[in-house]
Amino acid sequence: MQRQLIYSAVKELDIHASAEQVFEHVASKNSTISKATVYRNLSLMAGCGEIICIGNFDGIRHFDHNCHRHYHYICRACKKIFDVEGDFSDICDRARDTVRGFDVEDYNISFSGICWKCRDSA
């Protein structure tokens, strides 16, 4: 039940939530769940592919319920994370060609810059 609450929170938030944001969302619905339980289950769920951990931005891990292959754009100003659709699979071929004998098993690509809202408000 706790795991389902945590997954639902990641999906409902739909913001590439941090573990703290997930905890706050879950705790607002179930005050008996501990922060350690949320953090542990997020790691377990990411490890088995139920959700993905999209990286550590500014020292904070973020989680995504969207598990199909996609990438991310992080705004340096507001810190919001956006999905980027596209095919960058040729990067694996280039990486393999650059480092001989290395087998690419996975990769994570993120782009950073200033989003349109922050650019327009400057």
The boundaries of every CATH 1.10.10.10 domain in the chain are 2-64
Position 100 scores a pLDDT of: 76
Looking at residue 104, its pLDDT comes to 76
Report, at the CATH architecture level, how domain 71-121 is classified.
2-Layer Sandwich (3.30)
Every domain of the chain with CATH number 3.30.1490.190 lies at 71-121
Express each pLDDT in 23-82 by its tens digit.
Answer: 999 999 888 999 999 999 999 999 999 999 987 777 889 999 999 888 899 999 998 999
Under the banding of pLDDT at 50, 70 and 90, the label for residue 92 is confident
Cα 76 from Cα 1, distance rounded (Å): 36
pLDDT score, position 19: 95
Amino acid letter, residue 62:
H
pTM, full prediction: 0.81
CATH number of 2-64: 1.10.10.10
